[in-house]
Amino acid sequence: MDFTEDQLQRYSRHIILPEVGGKGQRRLLGAKVFIVGAGGLGCPVGYYLAAAGVGTIGIVDGDTVELSNLQRQIAHSTKTLGMYKIDSAKATFESLNPDVKIIGIKERISKDNIFDLIKDYDVVVDGSDNFPTRYLVNDACVMAKKSLVSGAILKFEGHVTTIVPGEGHCYRCLFEEMPPPGLVPSCQEAGVIGAIPGVVGSLQAIEVVKLILGKGDVLKNILLIYDALKTTFRRIRVPKNPDCPVCGKNPTITELLDYDAGYCAVR
Amino acid sequence: MEEDIKPDKKINIKGLVCPYTFVKAKLAVEDMEVGQVLEILLDYEEASRSIPKSMEDHGQKVLKVEKINDTDWVLVIRKEKE
């Protein structure tokens, strides 16, 4: 594929990098990335991947834009209040870069649709805001052998880790079971500084770009913890657990579970 | 000796400024085989210094940098690595 003159200008800062070049930019344009959630994390991830020219971006989210989202969900705006988040995000990303195809899915992701949703994508990004979805996405990506870039945020803190099934740890190697309902507060209960998902989502977007390019070291077997109050990044080693219930030698979770049991979705 | 090397490919990037001078030069090198030689004709002075430097940073060999008249330079680059 030859670049158009517009593409040469748009992607010039990529092409001049030794790690990218024309070859890497063509890989980005041919890549397909699936994002779970068009919220705090999904907005910056989608924004930077669209800007980078990732050719196909799928996003699943069943919610509509609310005023309380706009403190951090930067793909939406006062003008898109009440719209489905995926429609609002699609309009933003496509106006940033018409090279990119945005496929929005107005549903809540579940054990019944996840395999079908992610099957055509190269990389999955978790930008969800609750434990049942986080574990659902982890288990499905391990079973489907899809690389997963997971992010989480709360208050002044963010987590990022990259799961490459068959090579490194998975989310259950790190935290085997979901915390009991009510133990860990949600952003809705505990709050979050708006720029935290910006930092974490940008880190996730860079992990995705590295996975697509096959360059650098991703956060495989590592949990990166960002503490914004102290302005520190800590890298915690997370070995693959041979007894992990989903990615271990003798997995006990071999099909998707009823992740919502016991969790009430506070909306 | 190296001055007599016949280029395998020539590009004319007169009229272009940075970073498009290097973008065009780099894409031309990417499309060539290791060992082949690229001749670049340009008229943006800064690029006569920055392209050779960037090419070397990327592992390619600069065989010639020559000002051929009041406005133009010729660079000759050999591809050393993918």
- pLDDT, one tens digit per residue, over B33-42 is 999 999 999 9
**pLDDT tens profile A190-235:** 899 999 999 999 999 999 999 999 999 999 999 999 999 999 999 9
- Chain A residues whose beta carbon lies within 8 Å of the beta carbon of residue B58: 18
Element (H, E) at A89: helix A85-96
Query: What interface predicted TM-score (ipTM) does this complex get?
Result: 0.86
Q: B58 and chain A: CB distance < 8 Å anywhere?
A: yes
Which of A4, A6, A16 should we substitute to test contact with B (largest number of B Cβ atoms within 10 Å)? Answer: A16
Q: Which of B10, B15, B17, B18 is catalytic?
A: B18
C-beta separation of B8 from B36 below 8 A: yes
Closest of B32, B20, B53, B42 to residue A13, by C-alpha: B20
* B19 prior amide bond cis, ω within 30: yes
pLDDT at A56: 98
pLDDT at B10: 97
Radius of gyration from C-alpha coordinates of chain A? 18
Tell which wins on pLDDT, A265 or B51: B51
Measure CB to CB from residue B26 to each of A9, A13, A15 and give the nearest one: A15
Yes or no, beta carbons of B20 and A13 under 8 Å apart: no
Domain ranges of chain B: 2-78
For the cut 90, the answer to whether the pLDDT of residue A159 exceeds it is: yes
Phi, psi dihedrals of residue A58, rounded to the nearest 5°:
-95, 140
DSSP assignment string, A61-84: ---B--GGGTTT-TT--GGGTTSB
pLDDT at B5: 80
Tokens 């989210």 identify what position? A61
pLDDT at B3: 54
Secondary structure (3-state) at A130: coil
pLDDT at A262: 65
DSSP single-letter state for residue A260: T
CATH number for A31-237 (one of 3.40.50.410, 3.30.70.940, 1.10.3720.10, 3.40.50.720): it is 3.40.50.720
Nearest CA in chain A to B18: A12
Measure CB to CB from residue B23 to each of A16, A18, A23 and give the nearest one: A16
Distance (Å, whole) CA A111 – CA A28: 29
Yes or no, beta carbons of B26 and A21 under 8 Å apart: yes
Yes or no, beta carbons of B19 and A22 under 8 Å apart: no
Distance (Å, whole) CA A206 – CA A52: 10
- Minimal CA separation from A92 to chain B, in Å: 27
Domain ranges of chain A: 31-237
pLDDT at A264: 56
pLDDT at A240: 96
Nearest CA in chain B to A16: B23
Distance (Å, whole) CA A51 – CA A102: 12
Nearest CA in chain B to A2: B27
Mean pLDDT (chain A, rounded)? 95
The token duo for A150 is 């997971």
pLDDT tier at A184, thresholds 50, 70, 90: confident
DSSP single-letter state for residue A241: P
pLDDT tier at B1, thresholds 50, 70, 90: very low
Sign of the CA dihedral with A163 first, then A127, A38, and A41 last: negative
Phi, psi dihedrals of residue A79, rounded to the nearest 5°:
-75, -20
Yes or no, beta carbons of A16 and B30 under 8 Å apart: no
Question: Is B80 an annotated catalytic residue?
Answer: no
Task: Domain B2-78: give its CATH superfamily.
Answer: TusA-like domain (3.30.110.40)
Yes or no, beta carbons of B20 and A3 under 8 Å apart: no
pLDDT at A267: 39
pLDDT at A266: 46
C-beta separation of B73 from B12 below 8 A: no
- Minimal CA separation from B13 to chain A, in Å: 13
Nearest CA in chain A to B54: A16
pLDDT tier at A120, thresholds 50, 70, 90: very high
Distance (Å, whole) CA A193 – CA A189: 13
Tell which wins on pLDDT, B2 or A210: A210
- Minimal CA separation from A54 to chain B, in Å: 19
Yes or no, beta carbons of B23 and A23 under 8 Å apart: no
For the cut 60, the answer to whether the pLDDT of residue A265 exceeds it is: no
Q: B24 and chain A: CB distance < 8 Å anywhere?
A: yes
DSSP single-letter state for residue B70: S
Mean pLDDT (chain B, rounded)? 94
